[in-house]
């Protein structure tokens, strides 16, 4: 594959991603400063780091959802996770934004745990494993601080009775030729995956269906998930539901220097799992790929390159507390004043307490996780 080429679909991320180009290819809108300022004004206070530092960079119809919100029609939030193993820090990106929006705007949150999806999409995972990881992942997500009274979970295998009446209607509107073109399916693709996109669409419409009025939906997600929701948006009107709006984030680089923190294929060292003990965290960060030079002398002279550095990406998402601190790390990295070893040491001082606090919150979330799972349809088939 030539250097300038890349592939991004929900099932494959390959090559060096040019995010501006990807936005053009997908036909999404630029998340520009005036729109961010508008969101800041409506939410009050300061925007979170993920919005201030460009990790979220693209959207569909965010302005329209904010218009409705200001006119008294609040939206609900929706995001999800296809469980295949433990959660790592990059998996938190959509949910951290959702938690902030829920806290600021008091809106409901729907989380989908697709314990069927990765069983269909990948070999080597048993049903017991995807279901078990689904619950483990759910504890981690709820631990971010969602409001138990306003948070609802579709856990596919447990919630199928709630999802299926709508899934039937959704699936009838999606021709095979669409999913084949959108997801790049092959003749050997199993038919579970062919149907799956219908299930990922259902939560977008579920509140409108249940409440018998149009309820706007806003989906924070990685831009790799956009293809699913292009399908959703195409069929929304025909079913009489509003098109979901989206907020897209970039993928964050893995610790081994890859363009996403994926651990598929036994690459546990590419990511920081939330369950990693401090020693493992230390080892992974210490060996992480950076934008540094081969010798100290060279780095002092030429400076390093933050944009390619997996450690800088961690500072960027959440570990730099203020924009001033983030600007200082970036500047000192680029100038050669800050060497990689020292930078990693400072970052570790932030990661350890974050992981500790998370573990405690996760234990508390276990107590109410089961109660959030939606199991019944609001009305008959």
Residues binding ligand TRP (CB under 6 A): 10, 78-82, 112, 114, 117, 200, 219, 221, 225
We find the least distance from the C-beta atom of residue 305 to ligand TRP, in angstroms, to be 30
Please say which residue, 112 or 259, places its beta carbon nearer to ligand TRP. Answer: 112
Burial class of 204 by CB neighbour count within 10 A (0 to 12, 13 to 18, 19+) = buried
- Cα(220)–Cα(213) distance, integer angstroms: 22
Please say which residue, 60 or 81, places its beta carbon nearer to ligand TRP. Answer: 81
The pairing of beta strand 151-155 with beta strand 217-222:
unpaired
Please say which residue, 206 or 312, places its beta carbon nearer to ligand TRP. Answer: 206
- Cα(135)–Cα(115) distance, integer angstroms: 9
Please tell me whether residue 120 adopts helix, strand or coil conformation. helix
We find the least distance from the C-beta atom of residue 114 to ligand TRP, in angstroms, to be 5
We find the least distance from the C-beta atom of residue 257 to ligand TRP, in angstroms, to be 22
Output the CA torsion 108→113→116→121 (10° steps): 110
- Cα(270)–Cα(289) distance, integer angstroms: 9
- Cα(217)–Cα(167) distance, integer angstroms: 17
Using an 8 Å Cβ cutoff, are 243 and 322 in contact? no
What is the DSSP-derived secondary structure letter of residue 217? Answer: E
Please say which residue, 94 or 253, places its beta carbon nearer to ligand TRP. Answer: 94
- Cα(204)–Cα(339) distance, integer angstroms: 46
The pairing of beta strand 12-15 with beta strand 109-113:
unpaired
Please say which residue, 155 or 319, places its beta carbon nearer to ligand TRP. Answer: 155
We find the least distance from the C-beta atom of residue 196 to ligand TRP, in angstroms, to be 8
Using an 8 Å Cβ cutoff, are 57 and 23 in contact? yes
Q: Write a three-state SS string for 287-308.
A: CCCCCCCCCHHHHHHHCCCHHH
Please say which residue, 157 or 280, places its beta carbon nearer to ligand TRP. Answer: 157
We find the least distance from the C-beta atom of residue 81 to ligand TRP, in angstroms, to be 5
Nearest residue to ligand TRP by CB is: 80
- Cα(57)–Cα(281) distance, integer angstroms: 29
Please say which residue, 117 or 140, places its beta carbon nearer to ligand TRP. Answer: 117
Please say which residue, 142 or 338, places its beta carbon nearer to ligand TRP. Answer: 142
We find the least distance from the C-beta atom of residue 94 to ligand TRP, in angstroms, to be 6
Please say which residue, 108 or 350, places its beta carbon nearer to ligand TRP. Answer: 108
- Cα(93)–Cα(82) distance, integer angstroms: 14
DSSP per residue over 65-78, as a string?
HHHHHHTT---EEE
We find the least distance from the C-beta atom of residue 230 to ligand TRP, in angstroms, to be 13
Cα–Cα distances (Å) from 150 to 62, 91, 95, 112, 186, in that order, read 21, 21, 14, 14, 40
Please say which residue, 28 or 225, places its beta carbon nearer to ligand TRP. Answer: 225
Using an 8 Å Cβ cutoff, are 53 and 212 in contact? no
Element (H, E) at 72: none
We find the least distance from the C-beta atom of residue 199 to ligand TRP, in angstroms, to be 8
We find the least distance from the C-beta atom of residue 286 to ligand TRP, in angstroms, to be 29
We find the least distance from the C-beta atom of residue 283 to ligand TRP, in angstroms, to be 27
What is the DSSP-derived secondary structure letter of residue 78? Answer: E
């Amino acid at each position: 594959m030539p250097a300038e080429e890349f592939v991004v679909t929900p099932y494959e991320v390959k090559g060096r991603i040019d995010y501006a180009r990807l936005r053009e290819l997908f036909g999404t809108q630029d998340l520009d400063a005036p729109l961010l300022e508008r969101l800041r004004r409506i939410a009050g206070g300061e925007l979170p780091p993920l919005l201030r530092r460009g990790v979220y960079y693209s959207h569909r119809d965010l302005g329209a959802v904010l218009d409705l919100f200001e006119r008294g029609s609040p939206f609900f939030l929706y995001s999800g996770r296809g469980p295949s193993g433990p959660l790592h820090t990059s998996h938190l990106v959509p949910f951290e934004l959702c938690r902030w929006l829920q806290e600021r705007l008091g809106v409901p949150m729907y989380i989908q745990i697709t314990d069927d999806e990765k069983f269909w999409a990948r070999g080597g995972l048993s049903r017991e494993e995807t279901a078990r990881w689904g619950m483990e992942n759910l504890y981690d997500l709820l631990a971010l601080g969602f409001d138990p009274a306003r948070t609802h979970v579709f856990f596919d295998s447990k919630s199928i009775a709630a999802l299926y009446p709508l899934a039937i209607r959704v699936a009838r509107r999606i021709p095979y030729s669409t999913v084949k073109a959108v997801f790049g399916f092959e003749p050997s693709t199993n038919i579970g995956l062919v149907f799956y996109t219908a299930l990922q669409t259902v939560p977008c419409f579920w509140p409108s269906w249940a409440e018998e009025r149009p309820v706007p939906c806003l989906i924070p997600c990685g831009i790799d998930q956009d293809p699913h929701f292009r399908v959703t948006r195409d069929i929304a009107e025909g079913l009489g539901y509003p098109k979901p709006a989206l907020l897209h984030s970039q993928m964050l680089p893995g610790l081994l220097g890859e363009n996403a923190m994926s651990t598929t294929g036994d690459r546990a060292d590419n990511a920081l799992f939330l369950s990693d003990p401090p020693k493992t965290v230390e080892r992974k960060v210490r060996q992480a790929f950076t934008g540094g030079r081969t010798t100290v002398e060279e780095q002092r002279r030429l400076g390093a390159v933050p944009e390619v550095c997996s450690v800088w990406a961690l500072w960027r998402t959440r570990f730099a507390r203020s924009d001033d601190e983030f600007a200082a790390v970036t500047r000192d990295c680029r100038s050669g004043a800050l060497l990689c070893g020292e930078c990693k040491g400072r970052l570790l001082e932030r990661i350890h307490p974050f992981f500790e606090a998370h573990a405690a919150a996760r234990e508390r979330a276990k107590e109410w996780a089961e109660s959030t799972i939606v199991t019944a349809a609001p009305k008959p088939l």
